Amino acid sequence: MTDASGGRGSDGDPHDVSSTRREFGDSRREANEARRQAESADSGAIQSHIRAAKSEFESQVAQAKAEFEEANERIKERTGRDLILATVIGVAIGAVVLGSLIFVKWAFLPLALAAVLLAIFEFSRALIASGRRVDIVPQLIAGAVIVGSAYFVTAWLHWVILFVALAFVVVWRLVAQMTSRDGRTYATVLGDVLIAGFVQLYVAFLGSLCIVLLSKDGGEWWVLAFIIIAVAADTGAYAAGLTFGKHPMAPRISPKKTWEGFAGAAAAAVLAGVLVGIFMLGLDWWMGVVLGILILGTATAGDLGESMIKRDLGIKDMSSWLPGHGGVLDRLDSILPSTVAALALYYLFTPLVAS
């Protein structure tokens, strides 16, 4: 249909409509493209920020690792111990000991027996390397009997077993010497015999007193308590000596031990003694102080005593079985003599608390 002038109606030219649609489509495509480019730019900026943050984080981690390793090397240079390994192994051993004492009392017995036998073995090897004659198999048999029987027999029978075991290792050494014909002097043979007995008294007998304490009513808590105090004293001595140590305590025996370290050990031992005494053993606070002081004394004496033995043997550690710690006996040096103090205080304080 046409209007009066003969032109087309209001529907318009279809070509114009098509052109308009194309222009609209082009505009939308351009807008979408612009939006995609903007999103791509934003995404690129975000990824760039992420990469920068990641790079910065990795740099900080690497720097912290380098600083930690440098500090660990300084500590190792000063103390002769690898702090990381020592910490990891110490925590692992502590977890096993703690679990055995808390959950299954008698499970501590095989752990203690294994530790004592390993200590006897490495001590005997160190003595042999220094030129002494030590019979390892008889030593292990005697040690196993002394420690293993302590949980099951009465006190007097335990003493009988101890004397029989001592006689066993001494007689074995004498018979072995008589059949060897190597021309060793009387003084040297006597030294070998005395050392045979000393190994049992120092390692097996002191270790068995820990088992005697374990066998008592509530003894597992006393064992755990004195071990905690001994470890606290050792840790306090290490930290204080490393930080403040300047004045040698016994330079001829152990040059790295200082009076500052001993002060740290004393503070840690007394604090631990009071805490475990009150909350674990049900003791009065002053009993905890006495417990801490006595364990401090026996632990320090044991540490210095083993250092003197190693210096006499010309070795730094009894073995290298526990990286960062040395040998098994190097870990038991402060614990073994502390069993005497712990058992004595058990007999002294338990009746007082019960009354």
pLDDT digits (tens, 9 = 90+) for 282-318: 999 999 999 999 999 999 999 999 999 999 998 888 8
121 or 51, which is more confident: 121
Range with lowest mean pLDDT among 78-87, 210-219, 267-276 = 78-87
Rounded CA separation 323/330 (Å): 11
Quote the distance between the C-alpha of residue 174 and its chain's center: 40
pLDDT of residue 255: 84
Rounded CA separation 24/264 (Å): 84
| Main-chain phi, psi angles of 188, to 5 degrees | -70, -40
In this prediction, residues 149-167 reach a mean pLDDT of 97
**Residue 54 — very low, low, confident or very high, per pLDDT cuts 50/70/90?**
confident
- The four Cα atoms 230, 233, 235, 238 give a dihedral, to 10 degrees, of -130
In this prediction, residues 62-70 reach a mean pLDDT of 66
Say yes or no to pLDDT of 77 above 70. no
Say yes or no to pLDDT of 181 above 60. yes
In this prediction, residues 241-253 reach a mean pLDDT of 89
Quote the distance between the C-alpha of residue 347 and its chain's center: 30
Rounded CA separation 307/330 (Å): 9
In this prediction, residues 204-208 reach a mean pLDDT of 98
User: In what helix (H) or strand (E) does residue 38 lie, and over which residues does it extend?
Assistant: helix 14-79
pLDDT of residue 18: 61
Where is mean pLDDT largest: 248-262, 297-311, 319-333? 297-311
User: In what helix (H) or strand (E) does residue 249 lie, and over which residues does it extend?
Assistant: strand 248-250
For the chain, give the mean pLDDT.
86
Q: What are the CA-CA distances from residue 98 to residues 84, 222, 228, 342 (Å)?
A: 21, 12, 10, 17
User: In what helix (H) or strand (E) does residue 136 lie, and over which residues does it extend?
Assistant: helix 136-149
In this prediction, residues 162-184 reach a mean pLDDT of 91
Say yes or no to pLDDT of 2 above 60. no
Quote the distance between the C-alpha of residue 272 and its chain's center: 17
**Residue 5 — very low, low, confident or very high, per pLDDT cuts 50/70/90?**
very low
Tell me the β-bridge partners of 258.
248
pLDDT of residue 1: 46
Say yes or no to pLDDT of 12 above 60. no
pLDDT digits (tens, 9 = 90+) for 89-120: 888 888 999 999 998 899 999 999 999 999 99
pTM of the model: 0.77
pLDDT of residue 7: 45
